[in-house]
Amino acid sequence: MAGLLALCMAAGCKAQSTSQGTQDLSLNRHIEVMVRAQFNVPQDYTVALEPRKPSQIPGYDTLPVTLTRGTKKTVVEFLISTDGKTLAKLEKFDLAKDPVFSIDVAGRPVRGNPAAKVTVINFDDLECPYCARMHQSLFPGAMERYKGLVRFIYKDDPLVEIHPWAMHASVDANCLAAQSGEAYWAYVDYLHSHGDEVSGPDRIPAKSFAALDRIARQQGLLGKLDATKLDACLAKQDETQVRASAKEAESLGVEGTPALFIDGERVNGALPEELLWRVIDRALRAEGIEPPVATPAAQLQAAGTGK
């Protein structure tokens, strides 16, 4: 699959008596100016056009362009029409190696049907208010709507620069996940609905950390987990797993949370439920599954009021 970005070059006025060499110099200058403008090449880079080579695109030659600054060199291959009027950039996409289809979810707690054909992966920050809003849309909203048709998996992406207790929360959640998926989800549910309680009125990180550990121990007790193992994990605060997940998010181009990948399709931010459902519905239809019929808003309102 490839996209061809064509940059048409106006011929402009040309003196009829110019030599071929002068025409080549003029064309090369036009190409350099267009490359610099279209691709925002910094002024301290030199742009050098290399000899043309045959291409696999009829009517076009390959034109290597070398960008140089100091000892750093980058070669970018363009296409140029044989008549010298069009410059193009060919971009190929390797469908077999697209990272959005190979996000590492090994060992992550699953909510919903583990065998579902459609997977919703959410890069989550447990201190993020927008993540909390998305979480409320997914659970119970999307969970109830799609029942066994979809599985939900959370990955860690704490934005530590702006959320002082998010990393600690992710580590604690993974300590629970190591023993019980149900305890993990209960912890995530609680934090996404009690963030102010964890932050506290004075917003002192040490107090938040203590609150997170206390809540984790409570979930461990309710889930009948091994308290000794849980306490050791909470005390260790090993961030390795969380940082690996955050690094994966960065490699996928995630710049904020929440960031969902619904069978590979990216959703940034907390979408309204109706828009979120559209994306999930598309993924289901791609798998040959007809999505459930949406319940009209009036019926939902009536159900909520008991009328």
61 with 82: CB under 8 angstroms? yes
87 with 34: CB under 8 angstroms? yes
Domains and CATH numbers, the chain: 2-93 (3.10.450), 108-299 (3.40.30.10)
pLDDT at 92: 75
Q: Enumerate the β-bridge partners of residue 66.
A: 48, 75
Taking alpha carbons only, the member of 189, 118, 192, 131 closest to residue 157 is 131
DSSP 224-271: T--HHHHHHHHHH---HHHHHHHHHHHHTT--SS-EEEETTEEEES--
pLDDT at 218: 98
- The single residue listed with the structure tokens 């809003």 is 133
Tens-place pLDDT, residues 94-138? 777 889 999 999 999 999 999 999 999 999 999 999 999 999 999
Query: From CA 105, how far away is CA 282, in angstroms rounded?
Result: 22
Cα 283 to Cα 266, 276, 277: the distances in Å are 12, 11, 10
The continuous run of DSSP H or E covering 54 comes out as strand 53-54
Angle between helices 181-191 and 205-222 (to 10 degrees): 140
**Predicted TM-score of the model (pTM):** 0.72
pLDDT at 7: 53
Q: Which residues of the chain have pLDDT under 50?
A: 1-3, 8-19, 297-307
Query: From CA 27, how far away is CA 90, in angstroms rounded?
Result: 20
**Amino acid letter for position 61:** D
pLDDT at 6: 52
- The single residue listed with the structure tokens 């309710």 is 222
148 with 118: CB under 8 angstroms? no
Query: From CA 284, how far away is CA 150, in angstroms rounded?
Result: 8
Query: CA-based Rg of the chain, rounded to a whole angstrom?
Result: 27
257 with 124: CB under 8 angstroms? yes
Which tokens hold the place of 70? 């100091």
pLDDT at 43: 87
Query: From CA 254, how far away is CA 257, in angstroms rounded?
Result: 8
pLDDT at 53: 93
Q: Largest Cα–Cα distance of the chain, in whole Å?
A: 91
Which tokens hold the place of 293? 């019929």
What spatial distance separates the first Cα and last Cα of the chain, rounded to whole Å?
53
Which tokens hold the place of 110? 């699953």
pLDDT at 296: 53
